Structure formats: structure tokens, C-alpha cells
Structure 1
Amino acid sequence: MKDYKKMIFVSLIVALASQVNIGLINSDFRVSAGIILFVVFLFYYHELRPVPTGILSGVMVYILRLIVYYVSKGHVNDVIISYQLEILFYAFYSIIYSLLIGYGNKNNINFIFFVMIISDFGANLIEIFVRVTIDTSPSPWKVGTTLFLVSIVRSAIVWLVLNALKYYRMFLMKEEHENRYKKLLWLTSQLRTEMYWIEKNMDHIEKVMSESYELFEKINLNEDNESWANRALTIARDVHEIKKENGLVIRGMKEITENELKDRGMDFKDIISILSETMKREIRRLDKDINLVLNIGENFYTSKHYYLMSMLRNLIMNSMDAIPDSQKEAKIIVSHEIDQEQHHFIVSDNGTGIDEEGLKHIFSPGFSTKINYNTGEVNRGLGLSLVQYIVEEQLEGKINVSSKIGNGTSFHIYIPRRTLEENLK
């Protein structure tokens, strides 16, 4: 339903823009500005289907031109058939555009420029050929050069508009990234303050552990019985202080993350761009032979960007850890698809895989299959439990995993569109 509403909106705007036109030959054949906006909308709204949108735009242009003609002339008998060829132009423009756009990168403005020239010229030629059969329009061979020049000029205008919008958007993104960086510095300084209390509590915890062990030894050896009560009371008092200070730290960190991180959202493609850059840098740091492939589907805007970034980052890091240093041609693939109801994210790797017993406990806090036998370091095992919490509790989704020893692991995440997309609230 949302896509149909957008298609109708685009068609109405194109119809209005088509009223800016000039007549190049002695007939009802006119060159309008409507097609300029038509291509701009196709470029920025990838979910629009070119052919249905083109046909609907042609119908809207036809209806609006009839209305304008009737208001000015008082009748439409002379132009009912002739104006119908506007539909023919938009239909064939969109068909040619749709066929050619699949042969290149539809985000490349220079490629779009050449597609527009061919689409514009081809659609105009077809319209002229048809007009020759129903009125006194000049032969296509006589106006072919003019039509080709028109297609170049009109396509060049679209090229300039798209480039202007691109650089303006880059300027806004640069400004937004600078603001985010300033906010990040401020958040870091606040978090460092909270880290001071955490470090202080670590020393306090070590002291309590030492006192607890000493009390255990006294009780075990049945020594110094009269001090047991006071020692136990001191330990309880110290634990209470640690709990109180930890409560202050948690409250402080919640205030930072809940208040300061309430900024504007991001486009999903920008999230993926940042994620790709940081994860590829991490792969280089680990010196592993891993090819990271990120395939995003339809772009969308979300204020849940921190959750998405954390979720995908943890899953990618998990896949990196699952790939041995010696493995060659390792691959991690992040895919994204959207249907009418939900987003589907897939993070898969061709690493060592996980056995059936491991899969049963993979989301349990503390569980880990990643041990460095050279250093004795064990992964703390919080990443996947955190991912599950984000997906199920914060984003109202679900996550499942499949794996086979020697063949790698795949995580599938399903999140409702209404949870992620701002305009579906």
C-alpha cells in the first residue's frame, strides 16, 4: 500500500511538472519538464517500479492536460486522441529505461545520463511515428536531430539536478558526522568518568574476595571464632557499598545512553557503510584472509541505528572469531531483504562451524567456543547473548542459527518493519 501511495504521489508531481512545456513542431507534440522529475524520483526511490509508474504518470499527464485545455478552450474534442499519445511516451520511456538500467549500476549518475538519452530519444521517436499516422506531424527523419538534441539537453538537466542533490546530501552528511563526532567525544569523556568508579570497585571487590577467603580459612580451621561475626558483618557492609556504587554507575551510564543518544536516525545504507569500513579495518588488524561481503536490500530510515550497528557488528565479530588464522579464502556475507511485514538479516560465514551441543547453548551468557590455546585467552561469550537481547527485547524480532562442523554458520534475524522504520510508526 505504501508503494502504491508513493507511485500515485510521484505521478501527480510529474503531471504538474509536465505543464511546463514547449511545442517544437506544428502539432500537439510537446516537450515537457515532467520527465525530468520522473527520472529524479526513480533514482531516489528504488522501490518504485519504472513501468507501472511511467504508465500512471502518462495517464495523469493526459488527464491534467485535458483539464487545462478544457478550462482554456471550453471543450476537448480536438485533443482527446492526440493527447493520449502522452501516455505512449511515458510508457515507452519507462520500458526502455527499465530494460537498460539493468545493464549497469543504477546508482551511477553518469550511467543514468546515457540511459536517459536513449530512453528519451527512443520514446519521442515512437510517439512521432504514431503521430504521423493520425495527424500532420512532420516525418521523424526531419525532426530526428532536434529530438536527439532535446533528449541530450533534458538528460543533462537531470544529470545536473542529481549531482547537485548528491553534493548537497554529502555536505549535510559531513555536517552530521561532525556533530556526531563531537557528541562521541562528549560521551567518551562521560563514560571515562563512570569507568573510574568501575575500576575503583574492582579494587574493592578484590579486597572483599580476600577477606572472604580469610574468613573461610578461619572457619575451616576453626580458629579465632570470636572474630567470625565481625568479619562477616564487614564483608556484608563492603558488598553493600559495592552494590550501591555499582547502582550509581549503572544509573549514570543509562542516563548517558538514553538521553544523549536520542539523536536523529540514519539511513540503513549509511549504517552499512560505517560497518563495512570498521569491520574491514578489524580484519586487517587480525591479519586474516577474510572477504567481507555486504549486500543491502531496500534502503530505509531508522532511529534504531545503534541497535542495528551493535547487532550486526557482534555477529560479524563472532564470524571472524570462528574463522581460523590459517584458513584461506574465508568469507563473511551480510545480506538484507524486506518483505511486506519484516526485515530479514542474514550473517553467514564459512568458518569452522558449531556442533549440535554448542548450538543449544550458543545464546547463553558466558558460553564460548572460542579459546586461544596459545595465550589461554577465552572469549567472554557475551556477544551473542547481547544480540539475542537486542533482537528479541529491543526490536521485537526473533533470531535463529544453523551450523555444521566444517561448513560454517548462518544467523537469521527477523525484525518487524514497524519497529525499525520511522514512517511506519
Structure 2
Amino acid sequence: MKKIKRILTVVICVNIASQLYFNFLIQGFTIAFSVVVFSIFLYNYVELNPIKIAIITGITTSSYKFLWFYSSNSNFTKIFERVTPEVIFFAIYGIIFYFLYYRDRKRDLTKFTISIFFCDFVSNIIELCIRTKMVGIDGNMIRDLLIVACARASVTLIILIAMKYYRLFLIKEEHEERYRRLILVTSLFKSEIYFMNKNAAEIEDVMRKSFSVYEIVSKKHYPDELKNLTLDIAKDVHEIKKDYIRVMRGLEEISNDKIDVEQMKIKDMVNILELDTKDYIVTKNLNIELDFKYECDFYVSEHFYLMSIIRNLVFNSIEAIDSKKRGVVKLRIREIGTEYVFSVSDNGTGISKSNLDFIFNPGFSTKYDKETGSICRGIGLTLVKDLVQDIFKGSISVQSIENKNTVFTVKVPVDLFRG
């Protein structure tokens, strides 16, 4: 089925390209762009037998021309004599190509170009001989056909090289897109693992307390039912802790193998984040403008965590903007004194004064799904604060005017990045 589709593609494209031609040397002998198109297909569709596809293409192209000429001229014999040599041209072209290039099965562009040059030249000579019945052919005609063959082979080569570089460009672009996604996913992954590590310590504390309760109940001679219950709780917490740590270690191994980048420049991180955020805005059909600027550039070793911090703040800003107004989210990165200062601001709904003191608390969230009523889990800003303080030894603050704007400011020591 795939071969049939490709044969049809060749036939249709060559027929369309055959309309671009000019008369040459004698009446009925034309130089068409279709030969260039046919050669390009021969190079790319290596699974098609060139002799068969050449004969099929020659017959269909000649049949189309026959019907076109016959509609305006009823002289069947003249029209037949005019279009038949074209079938022979394609047949000879396919046969020569088969023996010069196709049988070798190696995709050598230099050899291919030389082969189609000879195919073009010899096929044209044979077609011209048939049309003139070997009368009137001279050295000038042969020279002109050499020039034509050289020109069409050169055009074919240029197009194939252009196609090759275009494919490489697309592959490079696709790889860059995958790399960007990998950086973002890994940063999310690592920040969540960091949060899980903190939770593991809290689970350990709960387990220790539950065993303490069991010991107290045992010493105070409380009923066996209560003693057994406290022991079961302690055991359950211990099992939960073991499963939790096992999952966490597995995720850590995956994230460590995911990408091996020791450090990144801040400008590259901003570019990756900006592209990702723009894609999100377009996908969600949001009326939001991004204004990302960095006044300094430096290498970041813990770039996954820093990416997670900035991305969390940027997406918080996006979520804070009412869909009815034109939103603006700004990111600024500056070096002020001994600190790098990251600020993320928006012109969204702002944060009420009563909530400002609680936004970094675990579980606190003012966001909810209007359709389901589900409240967000509320660890975004808690995680951001923990990462800023624990990983970067910095600080985070927020200023907000309700229904006007919000600015989150992160400050980290310059020495942390230069050490």
C-alpha cells in the first residue's frame, strides 16, 4: 500500500512539473522541470524500482499530454508521434539509472549526480534521434544537450542539499524542544523529590512519637485494646515510611539518570522558561504578555531547583491574572551588591492582607477548581520558600496590592554561584 501511494505521488508530481517547460532545438522536443522532480523522487524513494516507475511515469505523462493535444487537434497519428518519444525518454532514463546507481544500493550524492547527468544526456540524445530520425543532429545540438543535462543535474543537487539541511534543521529544532522539556520536567521532578525528602523526616518524627505513645500506654497499664491499637499505628507508620522511602529513592535514581548537565547559564534558563510559558499561554488561549529580562548572566550548578523556583512564581502570576483583563507577567534578574535578585510581578488580582502572612505555609491555598470545587494542594510557595532558604541560602518576600499587582522577590548570595 505504501509503494502504491508513493508511485501515485511520483506520477502526480511529475505530471504537474511537466507543465513547466520550453521548446528546444526542434518542434515537439521540450526541456521540462519534471525530470528534476523525477530525479529527486528516485533519490528519496529507494524502495521503488527505477525502471518500473520510469515506464509508469512516462506512460501517464504522455497519456495526459495526448488527451490534452487531442482535445484541440484530432490528428491521432501526429499526436501519437509527438508524445511517444517521451515514454522512451523516461524508460531509457530509468534503465540507465538502474545500472549506474540503483543496483549499488549506496546513497552517494556525488555518484547520484553523475548518474542523473548521464541519464539525462543519453535519454535526450535517444529521444532527439527518434524525433529527427537521425537527420540534422550536429555537434551544437549535442553540446546544448550536455548543458541541459548539466543544468538539470545541478538543480537537482542543489534541491537535495537544501532538503538535507532542512531535515537537519527540523531534527535540531525537535531535539532542542525535547531538551527544553527535559530540563523543565527534571526540575519539577527534583523539586518534588526534595519536598518528599522533607516529608520523610516528618514521617520519621510521627513514627517516633507513635512508638512513644505505645511505650507510655504500656507502662501505665492501659487496656490491651488501646495498647495494641497504638502499636498497630506505630507499625503502620513504619511501613508507610519504608514504602515512601523506596519510592523516593527510585524517583531519585530516575531523575539522576534523566539528564547530565552540571551547570547552566541563567540566560539559557530564562530562554527555556520563556518558550515553555509562551506555549502554555497559547495553548490556554490567555491574554497575557511576558516580559522577561536579565541584566546579568552567570552559571548555576543547582539549576533544576532554581528553574523550579522561578517557574513556580511565574505560573502563580499567570493563575492570579483575571481572564477578562490583559495580563502582564514580568521577570527581572539583577545583581545588586552581594546578591542576585529575582523578581516576578504581575498585574493580577493581588493577595489580601489577611492572607499575606500565610501564603508560604504548607497546605495554604486560595486556588480551587470552579467546576469541581477541589482546592489546590498548596505546596507550590512552601516548596519555593524551602528551596530558596535551604538550597540557595537566600530569602523570599512578597508585596501585593489587592486587585492591582503582586511582586515576589527572591534574593540569593552572589558568592554561592561564584564559589
Q: Which has the larger radius of gyration?
A: 2
TM-score, normalization: structure 1?
A: 0.48
